[in-house]
Structure formats: structure tokens, C-alpha cells
Structure 1
Amino acid sequence: MPLRIVLAIMGTMAFQGSIKWWVIRHRLHHRYTDTDSDPYSAEKGLFHSHMGWIFVKPHYPKLKLIDKSDLNADIIVRLQHKFFLPMSLLYGFVLPAIIGKLWFNDAWMGLLWGGMVARIAIWHCTFLINSLAHYIGDQFYSTDVSARGNFILAMLTNGEGFHNYHHAFPCDYRNGIKALDWDPTKWIVYLLHQYTALVPSIRKISARDIDRARARVALSHSPLAGYARTTDMNVDLPRMTLAEAKKQFMDKPVVVIEGYVVEVGAYAEEHPGGEGLLRAHYGAGDATKAFLKLNNHTAHARGLVEDFRIAEIV
């Protein structure tokens, strides 16, 4: 609770919207990256993705599909959302002026540099992730979306510049996974988890999944791309009818995707869109439409579905 309160206050200092406002749009961005439903889609141009989207009347028809239940249930999120404007003015502008007066005997200087200039700098560092981090850099982990990794942007944003990894594995607490990757945010989260009770758990993608993602990208640039697969599709699976699957897996964390029975229980908590999206189809419900049309899934996600297949529908 203490850490979450501090982070909520720090969030108001950025003057970029409340936690609830920001998280909902960030989830929309990840779920529909590079589409018309992406608030800052790179497909609409560099200026639009940087800051042009702010000046366009928002129209997000798929916003209703984004899960907000965890945000609505969080008392800190609710309070910060309710009092966001006065908190932002207090911590983003009044506090710097007070500090300027106490330390330098110049409240106006504190307001100018600690308030206005600092806010503008923070805004544009964030905007650069939405814009340049989708235009310039490497794509080691996914080529499904425009997100890229850029060391210079990582330096400006405390690690967020390693954006290709973030889009490939959004549930991982890290952005830069290599030892020399500049990611202070990762180090702080790890230290708080390791040595305090403030961060009780962290999520980390396995080295195997990371290697597989890199292999898929490498394979996509290979002349063999149309012939090789990163998973063995020739494994014989049990065959059953949909009715048999529903009877056998009633109320179990099992879904049907593209004619295959998929056991998702071990992965449900790590699902970037939340377990609720999977739970809606438990009991061998057909999740094909949700998987293919309602959400943009990466090659890694499609590979996981292949891994979790336990039977074929006939």
C-alpha cells in the first residue's frame, strides 16, 4: 500500500492523466497496436503517434472491450482518478514552487524549471515511446507490430526504449533483459521485490520463450521462412467431437481455438489481457473469434496456443 500511494502521487506529477485513464488507453494500445483502435497508432504518421492524437476527438469503439474491473476495484486508483486535477496542480506545480522558494528563495524559478519545463520534458519523453520507438530501432523479439528497441530512447525513459521486447512480452516486469541494457526501472522493481515486502511478486518470461521469440524473428528473415516451423505440428493428438470436449472439460480452464482443444490453466494468470478474457470461454467454449478477430495476437501467443493443444476437434 505505501508504495502504491507513492506511485499514485508520482503519476499525478507527470500530468498525463489519471492511472485509470492512462492504463485503459495503454491496454487499448497493446491490444490493437497499429490499428484504427490504437489511440496513437504509428500507421497514422509520426506526428500523430507523437502528440497529434491529443488534438483529435477521441473515438475508441473498442474501448468497451477493455477490462477495467481491477481498476474500478482499487481504492487508490479510484481516489487518484477522482482528485487527479487538484493533485496534479499541487504536486506538479505548487510543490516545485515551494521547493524553489525554500531552497533558492525563488518560487518563480521553481515553478518554471521544476514545474513547467519538467512537465514538458516528461511529456515528450513519453511521447517518443509512442512515436520514435515505433519507427527507429531493432526488432529482435517480434515483427508482428511496429514497436522497436532503441538504446537512446531507453536512456531518456529509464528503460522504456527497449520497446520491442515490451510489446512481445508485456507482462514481463523488464524492458531491457540483457545485463548491460539500461533499465533502472527493472533494477528498482527487482530490488524492492528481493529485499522488501513492497513488491511481493514479479513476472518474468522464461529464457526458453525468449529464445523461441528470437528464433521466430530470425526465421522470418530466412529463405526457409515458408517451410519451417518453431513448433512440431506433426505430433498426434487425441481426437474428439466438440460435444465430447464440453462434457469432459466442463468448468475446466480449457478453450477451443481453430479446431483444437487448448488447456490454458497454467498460463491464465500471465495472460496480458487478464484471465477474465480466457475464463469467458472455459469449459471448451470456442474462443476462435476472440483470438483471431477481437485481439491482435503475436507470433509468440500463437506459438503458445500450439504448445497448449491437448486434442483435435473432429
Structure 2
Amino acid sequence: MAKLPLPPQPAKVEPIKNNPKKWHIRDDPITWQNWYKHINWLHTSVLLSTPFIALYGFFTTDIQLKTWTDTELDPYNAHRGFFYSHLGWMLLKQNPYRIGRADISDLSADPLIMFQGKYYGVFALVLGFIFPTIVAGYGWGDWRGGFYYAAIARLVFVHHATFCVNSLAHYFGDKPFDDRNTPRDHFITAILSLGEGQLIMKQKKLDEEKKKLNWGVPLDQLPIYTFDEFSNNWICIEGVIHDVSSFMDEHPGGRTILATSLGKDVTTAFNGGVYGHSNAARNLMSSLRVGVISGGGEVESRKKKQ
């Protein structure tokens, strides 16, 4: 009698040996030369992400406003002209009775937001102007360049790039979402606004693609059958009759499962009794429906209990 081959033996794994003589960075004291080697940068980046976001707001020194797009409550309403939406909304007086209001109780309860608001002017001055100048001055002796390029020019560029989102992004390009609002997509706007000009959802294209899909005959247009008239070649799910003859060979569970379900209400089996079907399966079944059951159909599992 032939001997069966032995199963492959697992590879031997050498245990990790404790070697007290092996050097590790923790064995060295923290100094100015090696402090960065002692830091777990992954954990540190997670812990400091929220404070850094707040610091970014101080660096940009932007004005915090809510927006009500394309309405009189919109502080930079594009319908009031290109200049107004780009810069004029900050230079011209706003009607206090047409300023949009919002519930900011969640912001008022955030200690980081309240801290930022309380010391906003100080941090904006220090981190937006003084700090960049000091870095360039002490770093490579360029005090004027630090003040002009790292502070003034940087803020001018960042602000106008942001303002382009309010102006250019509402005047040039296509409207891929709908024609009711003014936001547009254009590659030039995307370049000037650092990517903000190519973010609109392509809803129009999606709507055109949806028109090409077979969503099945609407339920209110399907013929009505009694359960006695229900054909043995169909199946019923949630009161809707489906002709699955063209799908039986493609059914992932095999032809047999569908064959044994013909002429029956398989609502329970379809919804988890046998397998919980996905939205894709439901969309497919909608293209196979041929009628509805008068009274909503019969659930086989409930009939058996009765």
C-alpha cells in the first residue's frame, strides 16, 4: 500500500533573543544633535494634528465667514459682480439685515476654537509676519527677504488664490453639477486656486449615464396578478414578480437554487433567510420584474408557521 506524502513542515522561527549589549537610540541621552531620533514621529503627528490645523489658520490670517451660495446672504455673492466676489465684499459695507446667520453652538463649545478666537490677532501677527521673518533672518541673514517673501508676498498669493475660489470659480468654465448655481470648473482656475477649480461633482454626466441604464418597468405600469395566477416560471420578492429565466445560468449560487424557487415567494430567502442580497442584486432584479402581486404576495415562511 502506497504511503501518503507527509504534509510540509512549518519553517522554524528563531525566537527573538534578548541581547542587552545591542545598541538602541533609547540608550543614549537626548541632546540637540539626536533629539529627533528619539521621537516616534507617527504617534506625534497624530497627537499634534489638531493644534497644527489651528496654527495653519493663524498663519493664513483669513477672515472667518459662513457662506450662503448665490443668495443675498452670501457675503461674496457672485451675482454682484466679479470684483465684488473677489475683493469688494471686504472693502464695501454689508447690510447688517442681510447677513446670513447660523447656529455656532458647536463651535462655541470647542475649546480650541474659542482659544483661537480669543488670541487670533496676536497669533496672526506673530505667526503670519514675525515668525517667518525671524526664521529667514536668523537662518540665513535675509531679514528683508523673510519679511517680504515669507510674510507679505506669501499672504498676498494665498489670499488671492483663495479669493479666486469666490470669483474665477464662478465665472469661467463648465457647470458639471447643475445650471442653477454659479460654481464652475476650469483648469486655469484650478491652477490659480491650487486645485479648487476642479472639485465640483460631475452630476450632469452621471445623470446622462443613468439614462442609459435599464431600471426596469416602473411598478405602477406593471400588470397585476393574483397569487393563483402566479406562473411557475417566475419568482416573487416583496410582492413583485420577476422573470429570472434569462439569469438562471448566471446566478452566483448556481442554477439549482433558482430552479427550486420558481413559482414561490422568496422574500425571506432573498433578504437574509438564505443570503442577504446587495444593492447591486436588487438593481439587477428590478430589470427582471414583469408584474406585481395583488395584495402584496405571500411569504412562504409565514404560511408554514400558520
TM normalised by structure 2 equals 0.50
Aligned-pair RMSD on alpha carbons?
2.9
Give the residue type in structure 2 aligned to 1:6: F
* Contact in 2 for aligned 1:147/1:163 (Cα 8 Å): no
Candidates 214, 239, 258, aligned match of 2:205: 214
CA-to-aligned-CA distance 1:85-141 (integer Å, 9 cap, x gap): 110111110011111112220212201111111111111000111001000012112
Unaligned runs of 5+ in 1: 166-209, 225-230, 237-314
User: Equivalent residue of 1:39, what SS?
Assistant: coil
Alignment of 1:142-161 (within 5 A): 142-161=178-197
Give the equivalent residue in structure 2 for 1:111.
Answer: 147
SS at match of 2:200: helix
State the shift of 1:152 in Å. Answer: 2.5
Cα-to-partner distance string for 1:145-203 (whole Å, 9 max, x where unaligned): 100112222233332112533xxxxxxxxxxxxxxxxxxxxxxxxxxxxxxxxxxxxxx
* Map of 2:59 onto structure 1: 13
Q: What's 1:271 paired with?
A: none
Q: Alpha carbons of 1:163 and 1:40: their partners in 2 closer, same or farther (altered >3 Å)?
A: farther
Q: Matched residue of 2:115: which SS?
A: helix
Assess if the C-alpha contact under 8 Å between 1:138 and 1:164 holds in 2: no
The residue aligned with 2:137 is 101
Residues 223-261 of structure 1 deviation map (CA, whole Å, 9 limit, x = unaligned): x9xxxxxx99x766xxxxxxxxxxxxxxxxxxxxxxxxx
* Shift in Å, 1:60: 5.0
Change over 3 Å in CA distance of 1:78–1:213 after alignment to 2: farther
Deviation at 1:73, TM superposition (A): 1.4
Question: Quick one: distance in 2 between partners of 1:39 and 1:163?
Answer: 21
Q: Partner amino acid for 2:129?
A: F
1:96·1:114 contact (CA, 8 Å) conserved in 2? yes
Q: Which residue of 2 aligns with 1:40?
A: 76
Counterparts of 1:215 and 1:61, CA distance in 2: 39
CA distance in 1, matches of 2:205, 2:96: 33
Match of 1:137 in 2: 173
2:174/2:186 contact within 8 Å kept: yes
Aligned partner of 2:205: which letter? R
> Mapping of 1:1-314 within 5 angstroms?
2-17=48-63, 21-22=64-65, 25=66, 29=67, 32-59=68-95, 61=97, 63=99, 65-165=101-201, 213-216=204-207
SS across alignment from 2:196: coil
**Larger Rg belongs to:** 2
Cα contact 2:133–2:150 (8 A) shared by 1? yes
Q: Retained in 1: the 8 A contact 2:58–2:123?
A: yes
Query: Quick one: distance in 2 between partners of 1:39 and 1:6?
Result: 28
Amino acid in structure 2 at the alignment position of 1:3: S
Q: Scaled by the length of structure 1, what TM-score is found?
A: 0.49
TM-superposed deviation, 1:62: 6.0
Residue 82 of structure 1 aligns with an amino acid whose one-letter code is: K
Secondary structure at the residue paired with 1:51?
helix
1:51-83, Cα deviation, whole Å (9 max, x unpaired):
001012233546564121221111111111111
1-side partners of 2:98 and 2:204: how far apart? 28
Query: Conserved in 2, the CA contact under 8 Å of 1:37 and 1:60?
Result: no
Give yes or no for contact 2:133–2:146 (8 Å, CA) kept in 1.
yes
Higher RCO (CA-CA < 8 Å; seq separation 6+): 1
Q: CA contact under 8 A between 1:142 and 1:214: conserved in structure 2?
A: no
- Between the aligned partners of 2:106 and 2:74, the Cα distance in structure 1 is 21
CA distance change for structure 1 residues 157 and 4 in 2, over 3 Å: closer, same or farther? farther
Number of residue pairs matched?
172
Distance 1:64 1:120, change over 3 A: closer
